[in-house]
Structure 1
Amino acid sequence: MLYRRFGKTGLQLSVFSFGAMRFLASKENAIRTAQAAVDLGINHLETARGYGESEKFLGAALRAGLPRERVYITTKIPPQQDGSAMRRAIEESLSRLGIDRIDIFDLHGINNREQFDLGMGCLPAIRRAMDEGLIAHLGFSTHAPLDLLLETIATGEFESVNLHYYYFNQRNAPAIALAHQLDMGVFIISPTDKGGQLFNPPARLVELCAPYTPIAINHRFLLADPRIHTLSLGAAHPGEFAPHLAVADQGGPLSEGEKAILERLERQYQRVPSLCEQCYQCLPCPEDIHIPEVLRLRNLALGFEMNDFGRYRYAMFGNAGHWFPGRKANSCTDCGDCLPRCPVGLEIPALLKQTHALLYQGERKRLWGSSS
């Protein structure tokens, strides 16, 4: 297992973190899974007060013998209405975890202007908790649009950021660059799931990534970048760590073979008919359709047969609030507002209808109500 300095926190974190969002089966399974992570060399355990019983289960693992001195614990709490509410939330999380200090505290879900403003209003209470030794380091997690993400990083208030960035979604590349410039820790959210459900890849993607697995080539794309420090693995049981271990000690530059795979993937991507180039100039949409994200899912379905992933994410439109904003593509009224703004002249309304027909399979229930 490789370890990297997590930005200005100075913490040496394993390049894989255990994301405890999917502690679902039982307390006993949670204890076994957390212990398996530590046995593999993972020293960063990440949870959130919104992840069901996760904080309590992680606390149970610590009481059952998980060595506190060998792990760093992150928990995430969303912005609260005032400082008093934030203080109560911090104390509740400490109690559930059964610890006296949170190693990394993340403001959870700085996703829009309202959450940003609430979060900034909570900072005095968080700083007081830091002064008292209840919190060691401060970061934030985000699903925000790029402009707000960059603004939040640029405040200088945070030591780390937890964000989306994968081979199949590189929109946040400027945020990676700015975080590096400010010496912030960079923690990638769920690269195997949110990065394309790579644990269940379509045959076409397997073929294109050979001899690597899609999981491994995505990990190598990320870990070959020294500005990225750790990737979340949301294992639900001990056996789910195995697909990641082949590259746990590979952090150097991409090999020629790895570069060839990524070039093959890019050539395939460019063959998508009416490819959306993700410039975001079509926004805002009068009907609040997140046109670029809808068409990104279309790109992946047509280019790599990633239909299952597209259906999984597409079903979230209209059901996840500020965690995954926008309405489904069938809300399009053919107003044409987007057409003159597309630099490559895509027939966007027609593509939206096509994508809805391709990916819509009804509504889905989210795992938790507080994140995606």
Structure 2
Amino acid sequence: MQYRRFGRTEWPLSVLSLGTMRSLATADVLQATLAAAIAGGINHIETAQGYGASERYLGQVFQQGIDRRSLYLTTKVQPLPDAASMTAAIAQSLDRLQVDYLDGLAIHGINTWNHVELIRQPHGCMAAVRQAIADGWVRQVGFSTHGALDVIEATIATAQFAFVNLHYGVFFQRNAAAIAAAQAQDMGVFIISPADKAGMLYTPPPELIELCQPLSPLAVNYRWLLSDPRITTLSVGPAVPNELQPGLALANDVGPLNALEQRILQRLVQVETEQLGRTQCHQCHACLPCPEQINIPEILRLRNLAVAYGMQQFGEYRYGMFERAGHWFPGQKGNRCTDCGDCLPRCPTQLAIPDLLRDTHQRLNGQPRRRLWE
């Protein structure tokens, strides 16, 4: 296991962090998973109030012999409208976890401009966070986000946070500017779900496996991320201990990309261009805003991946979240397009966007899936 400085927190974090959203079966399962993570060198544990019984299970585990002081512990609390509510929420997490302090508190899901306004209020939730730091309840504060790039950049610009948790990877590079903004403030960078939401890379399609040979698609994404020294740590979220192994096997290779890895990445770019031709969306986001609140770039990104790399199952998984996940995955589905044409003159490559939206809906709509915490 390799370790990196987590920005200005100065924590030496393992390049893999244990996320607990999926280790929800029982306290015993979580204990076994945590023990395996520690044995593999992981020293950062992340949970959230929204992860079912995860905080309570961790609290039970900490009372059964695992030395909490040898770990960095972060939990997440959603932004609340007033200081009193935030103080109560932080106290609730401490009680559930059965600890006296949190190494990290992340404001969970700053995804909208309304959330940005909540953290800008001088006497709002961040006042409670500052008091919690002064009282020794919390040592460092950061934020997590599934939001648009401009929302992430605005949140970083408030200069209230020492770290950020965000999505980024080979198949989603939109947040590159946010990584640069975080580095400019010496913030720790924590990558969310570099396996599942990055492309269901634990179970990749045959086409993608072939394109990434002799590496696995998961290894390509991990190597691409960990070759970037601005990135501190990647979240791994096993449901059971043996699901840690693929990540642990990659946790020592953090140097620059070698010639083979660069060729694989070039191959992926070339194949995407060849397979999509004039239907390729280049993710400039100039098509937004859409009068029908359709998330055009994300829908067309999923189409890109399905057509170019055979990532059909992943496309169905993510497309099925539209209209079901609120601000965590906003936007209407492609069949909501009314052919108003508002987006067409803004597209620099003159894509037939309404036709591509309908095509994507036909390809990916599938059957709705249960979300993990439902």
TM range (shorter): over 0.9
The partner residue of 1:230 within 230, 233, 249 is 233
CA distance in 2, matches of 1:125, 1:307: 44
How many Å apart are 1:362 and its aligned residue?
3.0
The partner residue of 1:162 within 153, 162, 165 is 165
CA distance in 1, matches of 2:261, 2:209: 14
How many Å apart are 1:164 and its aligned residue?
0.6
What are the within-5 Å matches in structure 2 for residues 44-83 of structure 1? 44-83=44-83
CA distance in 2, matches of 1:298, 1:243: 27
How many Å apart are 1:302 and its aligned residue?
0.2
SS across alignment from 1:125: helix
Q: Deviations over 1:277-307 (max 9, x none)?
A: 0010100111100000000000000000000
Q: Deviations over 1:46-71 (max 9, x none)?
A: 00000000111111221122221211
Report the TM-score when normalising by structure 2: 0.97
The partner residue of 1:326 within 309, 326, 331 is 331
What are the within-5 Å matches in structure 2 for residues 20-169 of structure 1? 20-120=20-120, 121-169=124-172
1:185 aligns to what? 188
Whether 1:174 aligns to 2:195 is no
Residues 30 and 57, structure 1, Cα contact 8 Å, conserved in 2: yes
Whether 1:212 aligns to 2:215 is yes
How many Å apart are 1:207 and its aligned residue?
0.7
Gap regions ≥5 residues in structure 2: none
CA distance in 2, matches of 1:368, 1:93: 18
CA distance in 1, matches of 2:210, 2:248: 21
The partner residue of 1:355 within 348, 360, 366 is 360
Residues 35 and 61, structure 1, Cα contact 8 Å, conserved in 2: no
CA distance in 1, matches of 2:146, 2:270: 28
CA distance in 1, matches of 2:32, 2:119: 35
Residues 107 and 119, structure 1, Cα contact 8 Å, conserved in 2: no
- Name the % identity: 53
Whether 1:269 aligns to 2:272 is yes
Q: Deviations over 1:208-228 (max 9, x none)?
A: 111111111100000000000
Whether 1:239 aligns to 2:242 is yes
CA distance in 1, matches of 2:342, 2:71: 52
Whether 1:16 aligns to 2:16 is yes
1:286 aligns to what? 291
Please identify, of 229-238 and 26-35, the stretch whose mean Cα deviation from structure 2 is larger.
26-35
Q: Deviations over 1:182-225 (max 9, x none)?
A: 10000000100110000110001111111111111100000000
SS across alignment from 1:190: coil
How many Å apart are 1:114 and its aligned residue?
1.1
SS across alignment from 1:263: helix
Residues 34 and 58, structure 1, Cα contact 8 Å, conserved in 2: no
SS across alignment from 1:34: helix
SS across alignment from 2:104: strand
The partner residue of 2:204 within 194, 201, 204 is 201
Superposition RMSD on alpha carbons, in Å?
Answer: 0.9
Report the TM-score when normalising by structure 1: 0.98
Residues 116 and 154, structure 2, Cα contact 8 Å, conserved in 1: no
Gap regions ≥5 residues in structure 1: none
How many Å apart are 1:235 and its aligned residue?
0.6
CA distance in 2, matches of 1:336, 1:82: 42
How many Å apart are 1:367 and its aligned residue?
1.6
Whether 1:315 aligns to 2:320 is yes
